[in-house]
Amino acid sequence: MKTEVMKIQSIDGNLELVLLPASIELRFSPQAARAFDEACEAEKSATWLPVWRQIKGALISASQAVAHKFADRLRSIPLETVTDLNFNEGRLEILTSDGNQLKGHYKIDVGSFSLEYDLETPGIFQEAEVQVFIKHFREVKPLYAEYLAKLQQVKQ
């Protein structure tokens, strides 16, 4: 079980940004995940002729693959690689030596379920919540760096 230091939700409630002791994660909210699963189940149980059922099944599998790709892209970002968090022009940036990790456009459609994000669009998260998140990050990051340094000493 992971301990969450801080969690904020996107304005529409579909994405969660979570600060953990060792990483930052961007993930579907439980509600969005349930809605996606329900849409897949509704499509699977539709009364189609057998050949259409196979085609529909293939489409559902493709949608699930897209959803998994989306979730993988919004991966856990190891805390030690994060150099800073910023909130510029309404956009949250998680910066590493490779630049901003919150970027890309994602769209998932299954039946009645639709989820679309361009992570570089302003206004996904509320500024006040992001500022609190950044404050928590800046408190946790040095503690985690100190913990890693002590681990290194023990290994030597």
Domain edges within the chain: 6-155
Count of other CB atoms within 10 angstroms of residue 22: 15
Count of other CB atoms within 10 angstroms of residue 19: 23
Instruction: Inform me whether the pLDDT recorded for 90 exceeds 80.
Output: yes
pTM: 0.78
Name the DSSP class of 66.
H
pLDDT in tens, 7-33: 999 999 988 899 998 899 888 888 888
